[in-house]
Structure 1
Amino acid sequence: MPVRCTIGVDVGTSSSKGVLVDESGSILAQATRGHEVSRPRTGWVEMDGAVWWEEFVSITRELLAEVPDAEVTGVGVSGMGPCVLLGDADGTPVRPAILYGVDTRAGAQITAMTDELGVPELTRVGGSVLTSQAGGPKIVWIREEDPEAWARARRLFMPASFLALRLTGAYVLDHQSASQVSPLYDIEAERWHAPWWERFAAPLEAPALQWAGDIAGTVTAAAAAQTGIPEGVPVITGTIDAWTEAVSVGAHGAGDLMLMYGTTMFLVATVEETLRTPSMWTTAGAFAGTRNLAGGLSTSGALTAWLKDVTGSDYPQLLAEAETSGPGARGLLMLPYFAGERTPIQDPDARGVIAGLTLEHGRGDLYRAALEATALGVRHNVETMRQAGADIRRIVAVGGGTQGRLWLQVVSDVTGLVQEVPAITIGASYGAAFLAAGAVADTPPAIADWNPVTDTIAPDPALRDTYDALFDRYLRLYAGTADVAHELAAAQKHTAPDLAQP
């Protein structure tokens, strides 16, 4: 007997993941395709957009092969962002996609656009100042630095919208993603800001705007032949992975904060009104009329993976040794800015620092310091959000990093926050499947039924003084080393490009 289900696929920084989910929220099949980004120069992070579709096709065929009696009723798409992938009039990419805030190449364009438009007007229209996270300066960078590609470019995509195009032929982008193509989106009017689109993005055609769970179109015959998904199945517009992850755990109500433990750490606070602060990102939400204050660390899982590689260890070893190291990592303090930093310092030229090293320290101490560094970064973001007016009352954890209890406990201890952990933490692909189910159901499902909270992580009050003191040192260490870090970053930009290769 056919099993009615939805497919959700998310294109992430280090992999694409897909799930096949039935009407009760049970996962029937999962598939993953690992990939690497390209770092052709220091500060550049790119990816071939064609890979997104190739992996989608491969994933959906694997999912459907695992469950031959699946009756697919809807398709959900999601992806990292904000990315800038430019395509020609047919949607064929004209160059690799420039990724989100970890790509810091557009510094000159950020400065020029800010000087021209002014901070007050930028924040009035778009909600945020321009940073490495903003899509607009990256569009201008392509126009100025890659004129051959620009001459062929006619359309703007992110991973979810590129998949929607290939599946349905619809050229759409969701409001949340559009709000991060700063400064080209009007946050209050919820539409493209025509004067600035014409000034900075023409002759690109502005994509039609929809909300994440809206139906973009239906699977075409050509897409059905490639993917195995039947022709005519509805496909949602989708959105950026962090927001789809928030949906997957029900963390999108006023007062909610989602912590996404992934290659980078992402935070999304849902607020009752538009909040503006130069330290964070003001965005539209996944659903009509909602607003977010968002932030992101440039490294988290990327930092722990780096330590695993350079020490030649595996995660179980490192976690066990970090547990033994204990709170404070035996006097080590790390700044996690190994790829610059996004919020709240907005410093692409920040660099990693490990302070307090002695000959007695080992890899477990380093790993513990890395976990604490990301936790200190989360605390810095949370405190900045609260200072801006965000009333954070509930924190939900999601993503691959939630599989390790130690990391969760360190974050709770450092921040003083209780974290809720739901039954399913695979994140954006599951959220995309849920959005698709809601789009096609007569009675949309509730995420609390699909994915209930099964664990809570409470901070240890005995560690409050320890981590209060460490947080103070964390702030002072950045202030005291920033000048030297910036000089080193400048030197790195003039070294051979292969310095930046993975």
Structure 2
Amino acid sequence: MAPAGAGAERQGGGRSVTTAVQEPAVIGVDIGTGSTKGVLATPTGEIVATTRRAHRMSLPRPGWAEMDAERDFWDGFTEVTRELMASAGSREIAGVCVSGIGPCVLRVDGSGAPRHAAILYGIDMRATAEIAEMTERLGADAILKRCGKDLSTQAAGPKLLWLQRNMPDAWDPADHWHSSHTYVVERLAGEWIMDHQTASQCDPLYDVEAQAWADDWAEQFFPGMSLPRLVWPAEQVGAVLPDAAAATGLPRGTPVMAGTIDAWAEAYSAGVRRPGDLMLMYGSTMFMVQVVPAFTVAGGLWTTSGVEPGSHTLAAGMATSGSLTGWVQELTGGASFGELVEEASAVPPGSDGLVVLPYFAGERSPIFDPQARGVLAGLTLRHQRGHLFRAVYEGIAYGIRQIIDALDSAAGPPLRVVAVGGGTQGGLWTRIVSDVTGLAQHVPAETIGASYGAGLMAAVGTGLVPPETDWARTVEIVEPDPGTRRVYAETYRTYTELYPATRDQVHTLARLQGQE
């Protein structure tokens, strides 16, 4: 191939004609909760094209969260790749990689057809009885030591056990089982794989310290069940098959990378790849990933395998974050987001003594309490819409500080914090978080997210760029205000005292709501 930007000569009518040769490109796709997004990028990280296809998860029963794998995972992927290919022009597609929500649980039959709707990650709470049973049989301490975290609704193992017991027609030990992106990989390349990062959230089936399947525990609960081949996210696992090429528009034989869960792909896109790097992902939920130098166990956090071969991370997730701003917006009459930010900016730090516990859908890290509920403390008649909006931002920031304190205790303070996601826009939320935590936040130029990280994995996995290549470029650093941090110290203490003080009462209310 001619160097990028060079020309190639051909003979035309007795004279030499020079034609431009475009540099190759990669495709990254991410299957999200609300949409599938795709990016076409060059080896330097320049974005050639992006596209998006919306979809919706299904909530068929209280505590259940599902998606149709054929429609939402595969069809969304093919629509995105076809549109990106239309923008590729004469560029060679050097590789493709897909990330996605996870861990999900999906069984497919021998022909690869889904046997049931895909069961989603931690927001699906159907397997609470199986979590309790597995914990009792294996021992909480043994699970924590081997898997790096307590069993929770995020774990795939209990959902597999629930499926085995409650949907026997969908169960065959020889069948393949998938997360969202691995289902697409098998459709693309005919390879049944799972990346180490995703596998490390399939507790208790994976030994996080050894970075291998826990075969003995898998056999104890699922005799004869097959386990997928383990690979690393940027590893090339196969190539696009003829049928997949026809469906997706991708050239037959295009290299396919393993991919990983979306939050880790987003961290990869933002340059969170060295020990001490921490990603704050501002979205409808808040998610945090910190790279650690070695396997570390910390209560209230998830220890997982990372993206780079042999690496480990500590992770945490809050159940509701940015979604609360939409709640306030609807509750108070549908004012524009800009109006609410302006009103909240005029409210002093601490929201004139109003504190919010943002547990409107239970809470994950660090309390892991599905029966937790939202609390508004200190309301008076003088509080206005702007106070409530700011107090929601501050409550989320207090939750972030709680998690960062846990990360600090487990692995030392973060050396660099990178803020990504839609919530970084506007500036108020990130400024409040920096003031509450005392940490500066680096905001990268590209906030496309996980699909951009998947594109970088494709470039690395094909050898198009060296493994250490980083596409992230900081365009803003949000610095904390020491004076404001002192103001927040008192309201943060109130926040940490509110949950234990109200836990019994909100658990009673949760039971009355019928959403235990």
| Interval of TM-score (by shorter of Structure 1 and Structure 2) | over 0.9
| Corresponding residue for residue 498 of structure 1 | none
| Corresponding residue for residue 6 of structure 2 | none
CA distance in 2, matches of 1:402, 1:257: 15
| Corresponding residue for residue 41 of structure 2 | 21
SS of the residue corresponding to residue 330 of structure 1 reads coil
Residue 69 of structure 1: how far off its partner (Å): 2.8
SS of the residue corresponding to residue 278 of structure 1 reads coil
Indicate the larger mover: 74-83 or 202-211: 202-211
CA distance in 2, matches of 1:315, 1:112: 45
| Corresponding residue for residue 410 of structure 1 | 432
Q: CA RMSD in A?
A: 1.8
CA distance in 1, matches of 2:379, 2:469: 46
1:251 and 2:251 correspond: no
CA distances 1:392-433 after superposition (whole Å, capped 9, x unpaired)? 211111122222311111111111111111111221100000
Q: Is the 8 A contact 1:283 1:292 kept in 2?
A: yes
| Corresponding residue for residue 179 of structure 1 | 200
| Corresponding residue for residue 359 of structure 1 | 381
1:432 and 2:461 correspond: no
CA distance in 2, matches of 1:164, 1:4: 22
**Structure 1 residues 369, 201: CA separation in 2 closer, same or farther (over 3 Å shift)?**
farther
Residue 153 of structure 1: how far off its partner (Å): 7.9
Q: Is the 8 A contact 2:43 2:465 kept in 1?
A: no
When normalised by structure 2's length, the TM-score is: 0.92
Indicate the larger mover: 286-295 or 151-160: 151-160
CA distance in 1, matches of 2:463, 2:147: 34
| Corresponding residue for residue 499 of structure 1 | none
| Corresponding residue for residue 321 of structure 1 | 343
| Corresponding residue for residue 117 of structure 1 | 138
| Corresponding residue for residue 513 of structure 2 | 492
| Corresponding residue for residue 216 of structure 1 | 237
SS of the residue corresponding to residue 357 of structure 1 reads coil
CA distance in 2, matches of 1:203, 1:308: 51
Residue 44 of structure 1: how far off its partner (Å): 2.0
SS of the residue corresponding to residue 331 of structure 1 reads coil
CA distance in 2, matches of 1:398, 1:309: 25
| Corresponding residue for residue 67 of structure 2 | 47
Residue 238 of structure 1: how far off its partner (Å): 0.4
Residue 221 of structure 1: how far off its partner (Å): 0.7
Residue 391 of structure 1: how far off its partner (Å): 4.0
CA distance in 2, matches of 1:234, 1:137: 34
CA distance in 1, matches of 2:40, 2:405: 38
**Structure 1 residues 221, 451: CA separation in 2 closer, same or farther (over 3 Å shift)?**
same
1:198 and 2:200 correspond: no
SS of the residue corresponding to residue 216 of structure 1 reads strand
Residue 443 of structure 1: how far off its partner (Å): 4.1
Residue 462 of structure 1: how far off its partner (Å): 0.9
CA distance in 1, matches of 2:425, 2:180: 26
Residue 447 of structure 1: how far off its partner (Å): 4.2
When normalised by structure 1's length, the TM-score is: 0.94
CA distances 1:41-98 after superposition (whole Å, capped 9, x unpaired)? 3322222222111111111111222333332111011011222222222332222222
CA distance in 1, matches of 2:376, 2:183: 40
1:8 and 2:28 correspond: yes
Q: Is the 8 A contact 1:271 1:390 kept in 2?
A: no
SS of the residue corresponding to residue 17 of structure 1 reads strand
Letter in 2 for 1:417: L
| Corresponding residue for residue 150 of structure 1 | 171
CA distances 1:469-494 after superposition (whole Å, capped 9, x unpaired)? 11111111111111121122223236
1:456 and 2:500 correspond: no
**Structure 1 residues 315, 35: CA separation in 2 closer, same or farther (over 3 Å shift)?**
farther
CA distance in 2, matches of 1:338, 1:241: 23
CA distance in 1, matches of 2:36, 2:335: 25
CA distance in 2, matches of 1:352, 1:36: 25
Letter in 2 for 1:33: R
Indicate the larger mover: 468-477 or 58-67: 58-67
**Structure 1 residues 494, 390: CA separation in 2 closer, same or farther (over 3 Å shift)?**
closer
Letter in 1 for 2:494: R
Q: Is the 8 A contact 1:81 1:240 kept in 2?
A: yes
CA distance in 2, matches of 1:445, 1:172: 21
| Corresponding residue for residue 4 of structure 2 | none
Which residue of 271, 289, 304 corresponds with 1:268?
289
Residue 355 of structure 1: how far off its partner (Å): 1.7
More helix by share: 1
| Corresponding residue for residue 12 of structure 2 | none
Q: Is the 8 A contact 2:102 2:120 kept in 1?
A: yes
Indicate the larger mover: 55-64 or 310-319: 310-319
Which residue of 162, 165, 181 corresponds with 2:183?
162
**Structure 1 residues 92, 489: CA separation in 2 closer, same or farther (over 3 Å shift)?**
farther
| Corresponding residue for residue 312 of structure 2 | 291
| Corresponding residue for residue 89 of structure 2 | 68
Q: Is the 8 A contact 1:250 1:447 kept in 2?
A: no
| Corresponding residue for residue 397 of structure 1 | 419
CA distance in 2, matches of 1:103, 1:295: 17
| Corresponding residue for residue 240 of structure 1 | 261
Unmatched 5+ stretches in structure 1: 496-502
Q: Is the 8 A contact 2:173 2:223 kept in 1?
A: no
Residue 367 of structure 1: how far off its partner (Å): 1.6
CA distance in 1, matches of 2:92, 2:352: 55
SS of the residue corresponding to residue 325 of structure 1 reads coil
Letter in 2 for 1:267: M
Letter in 1 for 2:120: L
Residue 3 of structure 1: how far off its partner (Å): 3.9
The structure with the largest alpha-carbon Rg is 2
SS of the residue corresponding to residue 57 of structure 2 reads coil
| Corresponding residue for residue 57 of structure 2 | 37
Residue 38 of structure 1: how far off its partner (Å): 1.8
Q: Is the 8 A contact 1:14 1:37 kept in 2?
A: yes
CA distances 1:330-384 after superposition (whole Å, capped 9, x unpaired)? 3221111111111111111111112222333232222211111211111110101
CA distance in 2, matches of 1:104, 1:16: 23
CA distance in 2, matches of 1:7, 1:472: 46
CA distances 1:163-213 after superposition (whole Å, capped 9, x unpaired)? 111111111000010010001001122111111111223454211100000
State, as a whole percentage, how many aligned pairs show the same letter: 47
CA distance in 2, matches of 1:36, 1:153: 30
CA distance in 1, matches of 2:53, 2:355: 35
**Structure 1 residues 204, 253: CA separation in 2 closer, same or farther (over 3 Å shift)?**
same
CA distance in 2, matches of 1:474, 1:271: 28
Letter in 2 for 1:11: I
Residue 2 of structure 1: how far off its partner (Å): 3.6
| Corresponding residue for residue 345 of structure 1 | 367
